[in-house]
A and B are shown apart, each in its own frame.
Chain A
Amino acid sequence: RSRLFLRSSRRRNCTTLALFFFAPQHPPSSLMMKSLVRAVAQARPSPFGPARAGARRTQSAVHQTPEPVDESIRHLNGVHTNFLGAINSALDNAMARDPKVCIFGEDVAFGGVFRATSLLLEKYGKDRCFNTPLAEQGIAGFAIGMAAMGWKPVAEIQFADYIFPAFDQIVNEASKYRFRSGGQFNCGGMVIRSPCGAVGHGGLYHSQSVESYFAHVPGIVTVMPSSPADAKGLLLACIESPDPCVFFEPKALYRVAQEDVNPDYYTLPLGKGRIVTEGSDVTLVGWGGQVHVMAKACERAKQQLGISCELIDLRTIVPWDQDLVEASVRKTGRLIVSHEENVTGGFGAEICSAVAESCFLHLQAPPKRVCGYDTPFPLIHEKYYLPSEPKVFEAIRDAVNY
C-alpha cells in the first residue's frame, strides 16, 4: 500500500477508495444482490440484435437488423463473478483472441487502482498492457493513433471525472475521424473505459456521471452496463465494434454486483436495451447503478401500492434503444427516466422529449425525470443529492395518480 501511495501522488484519494472501500471483504448489499438476482432471473430475451459466442461479427455493432437473440448466452456455464471480475475476464478474452488488443492508461500495469486489469501484464507482456504518463488527453490521442494503424486499444481513464482533459481528442478527433476523411481513415478499434458514478463518499471528482456530454457527440458509441454479465458482453462488443466507444463502469457495482457470468468469449448487441422487469402501469428507464435503485422502487410500488412497473435498462446511451422504450410507453402510458447526472441537459431530457414526440397520444401523465440536482456532486449530502429509491417511488406514485 505504501508503494501505491508513492506512485499515485495526485490520485491518492482514488487509491484509497480502491483499496479501502472496494476491498474484497467489503460485504455486498443484500438488497442490491436480491434485486439483481431477481432482475436477471426475470430478464427476457431481447428481440433485437444477435449475441453470438465466438462468432466474428460482420455487421456494424451499432445497427443490427432485428433478428432473434438469446441473451442467456451471458450465463452459459456461468462462474459466479463480480463486476470487476467480468471486466477483467472480458479484457482477458479480448487479448487472448486478438493480438492487436492493447490495454493502457494510468496504473493499469500492476492491475489498476480497482484491479480491473489484474494479471494482464503477466499474461500478455508489457508491450500490450502498460502504464502511460499521467495525461488523459495523451491517453485518448495515443489510442486514436494506434486505432488508426489498425490496432484495438482499450484505454482506461482512471475516473470518468478526469475524462474532460481528453474531451477534445474524443469529441473533435475520435468521433469525427471516419466522417471527416470520407471513410478513408477510422479509429473504430478504440475503446475508452472509465469508472463512473456515485460511490458514497467520492465528492466532486470521484462521483460524476458524464454520459450525456458524450451522448451529444455523433460518431461515438456510449455504453453503461448495470450487471457483470452485461458488462462483459458489452465491453467485448465495444472492442469488436468498428466505431470508437466510450464505456462507463459504475464503480459502486464493482464488487457489489455479482452473478453467474459465462467465462468464454461472447458479445451482447450495442444499441439494444433490456427489459429488467415487465409491467403494465409505468415505464421506468435507467442505466448503470441507477437500475438497481429503480428496481427497489418498483418492488416497493408493487408491494405498497400494487403498481406494476416495467423497468428498462438502456445499456447503450447512444444510439439508444428508442423502439424498446416507445413500445413500452405505448403499453403503459407513463414514463419515468432516472439518472445520477444532473437533470438539466441530462440524457433523460432526450428520452422524455423523444417519447413525448412519438407517443403523445399514448401518454396518460407527463414524462418525468428523477435525476441529480443541478449542483456539483456533493460530499456529505450525497444521499440527498442522488435520485434515491424514495424519490423514484414518489415519482411512480405521482405518475399513476396524475
Chain B
Amino acid sequence: FFSLLLFMLSHSWLRRWSRFRTCRAFLRALTTESEALHSKVVADVGAKAWNLHFKEGQVFTDDLAFANGVEDGATPLFRILDIEGNVVNPACMPDLSRDQCRKLMEGMVRSNMMDIVLYDAQRQGRVSFHLTQFGEEGVITGTAAALNFTDMVYAQYREAGVLLYRDYPIKDMLAQCMGTVKDKGKARQMPIHYGSPEYHFQTVSSPLATQLPQAAGAGYAFRLEGQDRIVCCFFGEGAASEGDTHAGMNFASTLGCQTLFVCRNNGFAISTPATEQYKGDGIYGRGLGYGMRCLRVDGNDIMACYVAVQKARALILQHKAPVLIEAMTYRGGHHSTSDDSTRYRSKGEMDFWLQNLSPIRRFAKFCERNGYWDKEDSERCRQETRAQIITALEDAEAQPKWPVDSLFDDVYEQMPYHLQKQKAELLEHTKHFGSEYPSLGPSAEQ
C-alpha cells in the first residue's frame, strides 16, 4: 500500500498531472483565441456579406431564444397634448404662433365640414361617391402643416385635408367630384381622386399601395437633384399589407430616398379590423426591419403629428434616408359612401371616439385655453366653408361635362392612328344615335 502511495506521489505522476493541467490551460487559451478569431471573422462577414453590423453587441448567443414581436409589448405613442388639450410634454412643444395655431384649427374644421357637406351631397345623389376623413383630421392637417409647400405628396385617397391646407380652391375640388369641364383631370376618375402639379400633389389612384414604390423613386430623384424637398407618402394600415408597401419601403431604405412614409393606422380596412391585418408591432415594427428611422405617434394629437413630421423632414434631408411615421387614429366615419360600418362595429364605439378622442376637439381645447380660438371661430369657419362648398356645388352642377371626344386624349402624348380612327367612329356614331346617350351639357353638344 505504502509503495503504491509512494509511486502515486512520485515525480513522474506529478509531472504527468502538471503537464495535463498545462495542456488544459493551453487548450483553453487556444480555444478562446480561436473563438475570438471566429467571432471577428463572422463579424467581418456580417458587415460585408450580410450587411449586418454587430457593433458592441455579441456576435453569438448561447440562448436558444426566439424573439416575438407581440409578447415584447407594443411601442408607445408619442404625444404632446393629452385628451383635454393640456401640454403634457412641454419639452417637445413647438414654437407655434397664434396665427399658425389658428391655421391648424381652420384646416381641420374646413376638412371636417367639407366631408359633412359632400357626404350629404352623395346621399342626395349630387355626387356619385365620397370618402370622409372623420377622426383623422389631426394627422392629415398636422402633416400638411409640417411639410413645405413644394414637398411632393403621394396620397392614398383619404388625405384631401392636405390640399385644403395648401389652399387648393374648393371649386376645383368640386369640379373633380362632379366631373365638369373645369376639372383639370378631365373627369376621368371617380370623385376625390384629386391631383395638381401646382400644389405638388400627385393624382390619386385607386389601386392601394402602388404609390409607395413610386414615392421611393420620386424621393431618389430629389436626392440626385440635390433638392431641399422631400416626398411625403400616405397610406393606411390595410394598404401596408400589399407587396408594394414592402417593395417601396425596402427600396427607399436601400437606395437612400428622400421619402417620408406616413401610415394612418385607423384600425380598419373597410370592414377588416387590424387584428386580421397583421400580428406584430403594427406598421412601426416593420419600418425598423427595413432599417428606417421610425416613430409611432398619437394621430389624434395634431401637435405631436406636426412635431414628428417636422423632425422627420429634417432627418430625411440630413441623412438622405427615408423615415416612417405610424400615426394611430380611428376611422370615425364609414369607409366610404358605399359602406355602412355599423354592420361590423358598433355605433357606440364610433361615437365614443368622435366625441372623446376627436383631434379637433382636443386641439380646440388647447387653443381656447390660450385664447387663440373660440367656439364662434369654429362656427364661423364651418358656415364659411359650408357656403363655399354649396356655391361650388351649385356652380359645378351648372357646368357642362367634358366633351366626348376628350375620351381619347392623353392615352398617349399624341393620339396614335388607331385611336384617331376609333374617335372618328364614335363621333360618326353619335351623329346618328346621339339621342340615345346622356347629355354632357350645353357646350359639349356641338
Q: Chain B contacts of A145 at CB under 8 A?
A: 213-221, 231
A141 to B255, CA, bound (A): 14
Q: Chain B contacts of A127 at CB under 8 A?
A: 224
- A130 adjacent to chain B (CB < 8 Å): yes
A169 touches B218 (CB 8 A): no
Q: Chain A contacts of B413 at CB under 8 A?
A: 60, 62, 178, 186, 188, 242-243
Interface residues of A in 128-179 (CB under 8 A from B): 128, 130, 132-133, 135, 137-138, 140-151, 153, 165, 168-169, 172-173, 176-179
Contact residue among B185, B218, B247, B419 (Cβ-Cβ distance under 8 Å from A135): B247
Q: How many A-B residue pairs have CB under 8 A?
A: 165
Which A residue's beta carbon lies closest to that of B186? A182
A137 touches B412 (CB 8 A): no
Contact residue among B152, B188, B203, B248 (Cβ-Cβ distance under 8 Å from A138): B248
A25 to B124, CA, bound (A): 74
A168 touches B210 (CB 8 A): yes
B255 touches A184 (CB 8 A): no
Which of the four size classes fits the interface of chain B?
35 or more
0/1 string, A307-330, CB within 8 A of B gives 1: 000000000000100110000000
- A183 adjacent to chain B (CB < 8 Å): yes
Interface residues of B in 189-224 (CB under 8 A from A): 189, 193, 195-197, 202-203, 205, 207, 210, 212-222, 224
B410 touches A182 (CB 8 A): yes
Q: Chain A contacts of B254 at CB under 8 A?
A: 132-133
Contact residue among A149, A243, A322 (Cβ-Cβ distance under 8 Å from B417): A322
A182 to B172, CA, bound (A): 14
- A384 adjacent to chain B (CB < 8 Å): no
A63 touches B244 (CB 8 A): no
A141 touches B214 (CB 8 A): yes
Which B residue's beta carbon lies closest to that of A244? B412
- B36 adjacent to chain A (CB < 8 Å): no
0/1 string, B225-260, CB within 8 A of A gives 1: 100000100000000000110111011001100000
- A180 adjacent to chain B (CB < 8 Å): yes
B244 touches A137 (CB 8 A): yes
- A288 adjacent to chain B (CB < 8 Å): no
A242 to B416, CA, bound (A): 13
Report the count of interface residues on A (CB-CB < 8 A).
53
* CB proximity of B412 to chain A, nearest CB, Å: 5
A133 to B207, CA, bound (A): 22
Given A60-B414, A62-B414: A138 and B185 within 8 A (CB)? no
A133 touches B217 (CB 8 A): no
A169 touches B203 (CB 8 A): no
A173 touches B205 (CB 8 A): yes
A146 touches B220 (CB 8 A): yes
A30 to B262, CA, bound (A): 59
Q: Which of B202, B409, B413, B420 has the most CB of A within 10 A?
A: B413
Q: Chain B contacts of A178 at CB under 8 A?
A: 410-413
B416 touches A141 (CB 8 A): no
Given A142-B213, A180-B203, A319-B417: A149 and B221 within 8 A (CB)? yes
0/1 string, B8-43, CB within 8 A of A gives 1: 000000000000000000000000000000000000
Chain A interface (Cβ within 8 Å of chain B)?
Answer: 6, 59-60, 62-63, 102, 127-128, 130, 132-133, 135, 137-138, 140-151, 153, 165, 168-169, 172-173, 176-186, 188, 218-219, 221, 242-243, 271, 319, 322-323
A-B contact pairs, 25 of them (CB 8 A): A62-B412, A133-B250, A135-B243, A141-B214, A141-B247, A142-B217, A144-B217, A146-B218, A149-B152, A149-B217, A168-B207, A168-B210, A178-B410, A178-B413, A179-B410, A180-B193, A180-B205, A181-B195, A181-B203, A181-B410, A184-B203, A185-B203, A218-B419, A242-B414, A322-B417
- Known A-B contacts: A145-B213, A172-B210. Give 9 more (CB < 8 A): A59-B414, A62-B416, A135-B246, A142-B255, A145-B218, A169-B213, A176-B205, A185-B203, A242-B414
